[in-house]
Structure 1
Amino acid sequence: MTAAEDDHFFVVNGRRWRRTDPALPEDVATALRSHLGRGRNAVKRAKRVGDDEALATARHRNGLAKHGLGERGPEWWTRPEADRIADAEQALADLDALDAD
């Protein structure tokens, strides 16, 4: 990996993972990580009990959080910072709305 790629990715057990967008405000990133953690726990619970609907809902939550963090979707380093932050804030609003339902 080049030095620039090191800023974009990290490797765990030989697998390359995209880093969280460093431009995100810390409160937004923290809230997105919280949603991601809850989504991961929900995936485990749904798998344990064999609830396919709950599994799909949990995976959707994880996808929203990962996109908001910049860990999925368009490469954050190729996009304007204001767009990335707006997308993260929208992902957070969407996740908060899931909790309100």
Structure 2
Amino acid sequence: MSDPPRTADGHHIVVDGRKWRATDPAIPEERRAELTRILMAWRRKVRQARGTDRESAVRAGVHAAKVALGERGTPWWEQTDEQRRARWETHVPAPDDSSQD
């Protein structure tokens, strides 16, 4: 699968004509892959939790992963290198991670 097109400044990807914030390109590949796996696991949990009292908790997991990837929160292009590194190095629990409760 090819990567979606990016805006000229590289800050956003374009999917079906809509702009979405791009993942921080400075994240080391291994960490980016790990965070992406965690994000996808949380998204699967959201599907399972829709309409239940757990939905907001699992959506918080999605949000935490997206912040770590630089797709939410302070834009990565406005952060210092130290802030960016701290963001992606922050522990983001996977849905089955016992430290999340």
TM-score, normalised with respect to structure 1: 0.82
- Which runs of 5 or more structure 1 residues have no equivalent in the other structure? none
C-alpha displacement of 1:94: 3.6
Question: Could you say which structure has the greater relative contact order, defined with CA pairs below 8 angstroms and 6 or more residues apart?
Answer: 1
Within a 5 Å distance, the mapping from 1:19-34 to structure 2 comes to 19-34=22-37
Secondary structure, aligned partner of 1:95:
coil
User: Are 1:58 and 2:58 matched, yes or no?
Assistant: yes
- Moved >2 Å (runs of 4+): none
Distance 1:52 1:97 in 2: 16
- Which runs of 5 or more structure 2 residues have no equivalent in the other structure? 1-5
Distance 1:42 1:87 in 2: 23
TM-score, normalised with respect to structure 2: 0.82
8 Å contact kept, 2:13–2:21: yes
The number of aligned residues is 94
C-alpha displacement of 1:27: 1.4
RMSD value over aligned CA atoms?
2.1
Identity across aligned pairs (percent)?
38
Q: Partner amino acid for 2:53? A: D
User: Are 1:17 and 2:15 matched, yes or no?
Assistant: no
Partner of 2:70: 70
Deviations 1:15-41 (A, max 9, x none): 210000000111111111111001110
